[in-house]
Amino acid sequence: MQQPYEFRGAEAVERGAGAGARVLVVDDDPTVAEVVSGYLDRAGYVVDRAEDGPTALARAAAHWPDLVVLDLMLPGMDGLEVCRRMRGRGPVPVIMLTARGDEDDRILGLEVGADDYVTKPFSPRELVLRVESVLRRTRPVTAPRPLHASGLALDPAARRATKDGEELALTIREFDLLAFFLRHPGRAFSREDLMREVWGWDFGDLSTVTVHVRRLRGKVEDDPARPRLIQTVWGVGYRFGTTPRQEAV
């Protein structure tokens, strides 16, 4: 039976990288939870643990986390429902743990707002790096410049986005993706480009980009089926512009 994690002797984790950020680890397998928590603790994170959905929601209410590592398959209340309920209480980054090969479940996780996912079996060191990558993008940058285009307004410092004056409910990755498009209007980017520039990865499942583009279109386009802002460039990828396109993928 394949283990849901892998030990690798060279994967030392530098203490202090987490800078005290609070991470809630939700997994009903005590061995997985212990391994993940141990690596995060050694990286300098404050770690809370929960073995099921109701306990996770209670722990989050008591001490709101900076990030949640959430197993998809939980007893009773699954990870998708936990993610929905947490997002209903407030914004929080979520990294979902899924079984290898369950592509539909990974897509569902992204659809409900997970910012990233890691498939089992996984390297604990890779998970720590993913946690750091997601948290890094939630931190304010120095003197960020507000962005405006086509009725959209983004304030990177406040992590706030509006369309025609109405606030948009964007996940962390959706916000970063929209900000990247607004900073580079008219330029076409492949999914590989977007994964590297927005996610900070040189590898990964490109469907992650596709799902986030689709979700973002649903929030910023007047007609997501005929997008004017986030356009498909056939054979290349996507660009931000104002010329109408006929189809979306």
The torsion region of residue 212 among left (phi > 0), alpha (psi -120 to 50) and beta comes to alpha
Last residue of a domain, one of 136, 166, 182: 136
* pLDDT in the model for residue 102: 61
Looking at the structure, do residues 172 and 124 belong to the same domain, yes or no? no
Last residue of a domain, one of 71, 105, 136: 136
3-state SS, residue 199: helix
pTM of the full predicted structure? 0.64
* pLDDT in the model for residue 139: 66
Below-70 pLDDT ranges, the chain: 1-19, 100-106, 138-144, 202-204, 242-249
Looking at the structure, do residues 119 and 170 belong to the same domain, yes or no? no
Looking at the structure, do residues 47 and 66 belong to the same domain, yes or no? yes
Looking at the structure, do residues 226 and 165 belong to the same domain, yes or no? yes
* pLDDT in the model for residue 13: 46
Looking at the structure, do residues 27 and 108 belong to the same domain, yes or no? yes
* pLDDT in the model for residue 1: 40
* pLDDT in the model for residue 8: 41
Phi and psi at 64, nearest 5°, equal -60, 125
Identify whether 10 is part of a domain: no
Last residue of a domain, one of 136, 158, 185: 136
Residue 51 and residue 24 in contact, taking contact as beta carbons nearer than 8 Å: no
* pLDDT in the model for residue 12: 43
Q: Which residue range forms the structural domain that includes residue 132?
A: 22-136
Q: What is the DSSP letter of 52?
A: S
Number of domains in the chain: 2
Looking at the structure, do residues 132 and 207 belong to the same domain, yes or no? no
171-211 per-position pLDDT tens digit: 888 999 999 999 999 999 999 999 888 887 766 678 889 98
Looking at the structure, do residues 124 and 195 belong to the same domain, yes or no? no
Q: The CATH number of the domain where 205 resides is what?
A: 1.10.10.10
Identify whether 68 is part of a domain: yes
Looking at the structure, do residues 27 and 109 belong to the same domain, yes or no? yes
Q: In the numeric block, which tokens belong to residue 91?
A: 């914004």
Looking at the structure, do residues 35 and 132 belong to the same domain, yes or no? yes
* pLDDT in the model for residue 100: 57
Q: In the numeric block, which tokens belong to residue 150?
A: 């086509």
Neighbours of 188 (CB within 10 A): 16
* pLDDT in the model for residue 27: 94
Identify whether 3 is part of a domain: no
